Amino acid sequence: MLNRSNAERTVLGLSLTLLFVASLFASCTSKPRTPGPQDCAKVSDRRLVKNFKKRVRADRQFDNQRRYINVSIRDRVVTLEGRVSAADASAALEKYAYELGCVTKVANRLTTQTLVGGCAPGQKLCGDICIDRTSQCNLIN
């Protein structure tokens, strides 16, 4: 660096500074971390439902399916009910549920079949879908 001109040293210094600022900015705008075990005591089931709905609303593949998807969370267990267009959509929703953090289990009861003839015994109507009678009706809309 002793043999370099002042202009070269200035350009090198500015480049390093810019690189540092860019990496600092990238670390501040990265996606939020999932809660650790000690944070889970502070996160309510209601908050997890809200975060799940937000994630599904952000995914354009569910734009025409959200009113058929129900999510309920009780004691860190996520229950997905309703219908989706394909098995890969069901798998994506299950993945989103696990990505919430603090979730111990996901009960995926999603189907790709249309409701015909009403709800089965032990079920209730939630919008245009049938869900377990004990589940809370929380359509994604």
- pLDDT category of residue 28 using cuts at 50, 70 and 90: low
- For the segment 57-83, what is each residue's pLDDT rounded down to a tens digit? 999 999 999 999 999 999 999 999 999
Instruction: Write down the residue that tokens 């219908």 correspond to.
Output: 83
Check whether domain 37-132 has CATH 3.30.1380, yes or no: no
**What gap in Å lies between CA 59 and CA 69, rounded to an integer?**
13
Judge whether residue 22 has pLDDT over 80. Answer: no
pLDDT at 30 over 50: no
Averaged pLDDT of the chain: 84
Poorest-pLDDT segment among 46-50, 95-99, 124-128: 124-128
Instruction: Tell me the mean pLDDT in the region 91-97.
Output: 96
Angle at 49 between CA 133 and CA 53, to 5 degrees: 105
